Amino acid sequence: MPDGVEPISADDYFLRATEFRVWLHQKRNKYVEELSTQEATELFEDKFVKRWNDGRLDAMFYKGIPEAVLEQTKRTRHQWGFVNRLNEKERFDLATAKDSVEVATRKQNLLQKDAAGTSSGSRKREQRDEDDRRNDRGYDDDRRHHDKADRKRHRKHHESVLEELVPKETGREAKLEQRRQRAEKLHGAARDRDANRDGLDIDEDFLMGGSSQSDLQRRLAQRQLGRERKDQERQEKVAALAAKETERMDKFLADMGLNGPGQGPIVIQPRR
């Protein structure tokens, strides 16, 4: 492209209308009036603009088209009477006005189509988003209800299985079972402590061969005494628990108006 010449774009259709008409007539043997507005603008943008920017047009298109060339390039193949009486400037103004009206009409139609399409597309997107939100909320609610029902069914099944395998104690039996469990925990902990303390204490000197046989006998005797003492304590605890249980049973029978064991036949107190 020659120096000092600015590149053009599709927006320069009216600015370079004269050059485009001359090029169209010389290279394509066509007239603008023989083409639709869309065909003319597409040829201008796809062909003429590229050749202009690449510098492939004749020099007269960049420096100015001579009057003789303009005179040879008629706007249409038809000759109208009033057109023959117009000079070149009036003809150019008339053609430019016609092209301006056509392009303005085409742009207005495109803008209206774009606006209608945008508005319709926006409404569709909003409706689709709202439907998606409703579906998501419904799915979450259904899933929560389903999970809650599953947990409830599992809990009931678990309770029924436990009831069949280990029936629950009721009334006095339930209380006695609770007492036995507490006593077992206490006695089990005591037995563990005693077991940890039980054993033969042998110091390091004996293990290394520094103690005599008498020391071993003495330690064995101490161990035996410890075991006997623990057995005696255990028997005393069992006897004390048995006495307490007998005392509670006697009190229970007395509260019920019944004689204790070994005190004769059971006597039911009369109603008051």
| pLDDT confidence of residue 240 | 92
pLDDT greater at residue 204 or residue 176: 176
Q: Round to whole Å and give the CA distance between 39 and 45.
A: 10
Kindly tell me if the per-residue pLDDT of 263 is higher than 60: no
CB 69 within 8 A of CB 19: no
Residue 236 pLDDT level (bands cut at 50, 70, 90): very high
E strand residue ranges, 58-157: none
Residue type at position 144? R
CB 15 within 8 A of CB 63: no
| pLDDT confidence of residue 196 | 55
Q: Round to whole Å and give the CA distance between 229 and 85.
A: 146
Q: pLDDT, tens digit, for every residue of 187-198?
A: 766 666 665 555
- For the chain, the average pLDDT equals 76
| pLDDT confidence of residue 243 | 92
CB 8 within 8 A of CB 49: yes
Three-class HEC string of 38-82: HHHHHHHHHHHHHHHHHCCCCHHHHHCCCHHHHHHCCCCCCCCHH
> Residue 133 corresponds to which tokens in the numbers above?
């939100």
Q: pLDDT, tens digit, for every residue of 61-81?
A: 888 888 888 877 765 454 544
| pLDDT confidence of residue 229 | 92
| pLDDT confidence of residue 96 | 72
Q: Round to whole Å and give the CA distance between 102 and 98.
A: 6
Most confident option among 123-137, 164-178, 182-196, 207-221: 123-137
| pLDDT confidence of residue 160 | 75
> Residue 236 corresponds to which tokens in the numbers above?
């005393």
Q: Round to whole Å and give the CA distance between 62 and 73.
A: 17
Q: What integer is the mean pLDDT of 251-269?
A: 66
Q: What integer is the mean pLDDT of 230-241?
A: 92
108-119: b (≥16 Cβ within 10 Å) or e = eeeeeeeeeeee
pTM over 0.85: no
| Alpha-carbon radius of gyration of the chain | 58
CB 50 within 8 A of CB 8: no
Kindly tell me if the per-residue pLDDT of 31 is higher than 80: yes
**Please, what is the angle between helix 88-165 and helix 17-28, to 10°?**
90
Q: Round to whole Å and give the CA distance between 10 and 140.
A: 54
Q: Round to whole Å and give the CA distance between 259 and 266.
A: 5
Q: Round to whole Å and give the CA distance between 33 and 83.
A: 14
